[in-house]
Homo-oligomer: A and B are copies of this chain.
Amino acid sequence: MFEFHLEATQGLARAGRLTLPHGTVATPAFMPVGTHGVVRGLSAGDVARTGAQIILGNTYHLHLRPGEAVVRQMGGLHRFTTWSGPMLTDSGGFQVFSLEGLRRIDEDGVEFQSHVDGTYRRLSPERAMEIQWALGADIAMAFDHVVPGQAPQDLACEGMERTLRWLDRCRARHAALTEGRKGGRTEGGSDGGADVPALDVETLATGNAATAESGPASHVPSVRPSVLPSPRQTLWPIIQGGTHDDLRRRSLDGTLERGPWAGIAIGGLSVGEPKPVMHRILETLAPELPRETPRYLMGVGFPSDLLEGIARGVDLFDCVAATRNGRHGTAWLPTGRINVRGAALKGSTEPLDPECDCEACTTYPRGYLRHLFVVEDMLGLRLVSLHNVRFLVRLGELARAHILDGTFDAWSREWLRRYHARGT
């Protein structure tokens, strides 16, 4: 159920098929971000119609609102959101480390202040596993120590080494949760059995700082893991090490020693470093990564990033840019990005992107999309978000077809040339 079949390679570009409890993901693939359990402004049906095969949920945001206890009580993320395909949750690490000034880190974990209500909360490797387990993700991400982009060697080293130590704790807690599900028995000496019964909803709820959103809910029934459908969740580690090749190699070695893994993520990139640096790190890691393991480049997903990443062996991407740009009226086209509010679109009866098969492009004239932004109707935000998501999903589909054809390199070069021709 967690297999990854590599179907073709051409140079480093790979086409594969990742089988997960809620479906199969043909890679390379873009994964839309459903921050709060919703891809901003889009229904699960909208997202499905873009061809997206898997979506991401943010543990930090879902922990704060509505709280994992509520999601669990409602049957897990899939029933909560009505998204029936595979879901991945991040660990909350990236978000809490982004809360500059609102968080305190020690070896145990991170204390942080909720951006919603100011309450103090803790995330640790164990809590990150418990929350993702309660959410019922298909893929849970390890809790990592994220350092700022271009951090110096010593800081990047500290974050990388802590991420490995935390990986041990994530693995132990995840194994315990998995074994607990199987009836409280443990294997290989993990301490799972004894701890796991604690994971009923009331314990999860009262384990948080009490708030209106995720505090103790006395009417919430206590649901044991075993009464929920088995999520058959896998845990994926995250490679850190900043922009330092040696640290990245050590992070990978340490991660592989702790394996095998169903998938491996590369974190801490696209956080301010120059593009060539990101490409160099990917090139450093690519030949060392296990060939039959899917590779997920976290938080990366502008159109050209997708092709550059795919060329360097990446299988899975996520990024909020598609929907964020969409809400701001920036649409991606094969000839570069355009501002949908632009006067050039006024009165135009042409489709936004004549090559696209999304709802926005096949239904509405550009002039109407522009009008929606001018009069500030949220339908415009939705339609351009939809287009941008479909644009990236389709780019993944096209890349896959060209990898399988053996024509990826030439196609990708020509695609990038056309995309950048106007200098956008």
**A interface vs B, CB < 8 Å?**
36-38, 40-45, 61, 65-66, 70, 73-75, 79-82, 212-213, 217, 219-220, 343, 346-347, 349, 359, 363-365, 367-368, 371-372, 374-375, 377-379, 381-383
| A346-B217, A378-B378 given; A367·B43 CB < 8 A | no
Considering the chains assembled together, what is the distance between the CA atoms of A104 and B347 in angstroms? 31
Pair B74/A367 contact, Cβ less than 8 Å: yes
Pair B41/A368 contact, Cβ less than 8 Å: no
Pair A73/B363 contact, Cβ less than 8 Å: no
Pair A65/B382 contact, Cβ less than 8 Å: no
* A159 → chain B closest CB, angstroms: 30
Contact partners of A359 in chain B: CB under 8 A: 43, 45
Contact partners of A70 in chain B: CB under 8 A: 346-347, 367, 371
Considering the chains assembled together, what is the distance between the CA atoms of A73 and B346 in angstroms? 10
Contact partners of A364 in chain B: CB under 8 A: 82
* A57 → chain B closest CB, angstroms: 12
Pair A346/B66 contact, Cβ less than 8 Å: yes
Contact partners of A73 in chain B: CB under 8 A: 347
Q: Counting chain B CB atoms within 10 Å of each CB, which of A43, A65, A359, A364 scores highest? A: A43
* A61 → chain B closest CB, angstroms: 8
Pair B349/A74 contact, Cβ less than 8 Å: yes
Pair A377/B74 contact, Cβ less than 8 Å: no
Pair B217/A371 contact, Cβ less than 8 Å: no
Contact partners of A65 in chain B: CB under 8 A: 371, 374-375
Pair A379/B220 contact, Cβ less than 8 Å: no
* A213 → chain B closest CB, angstroms: 7
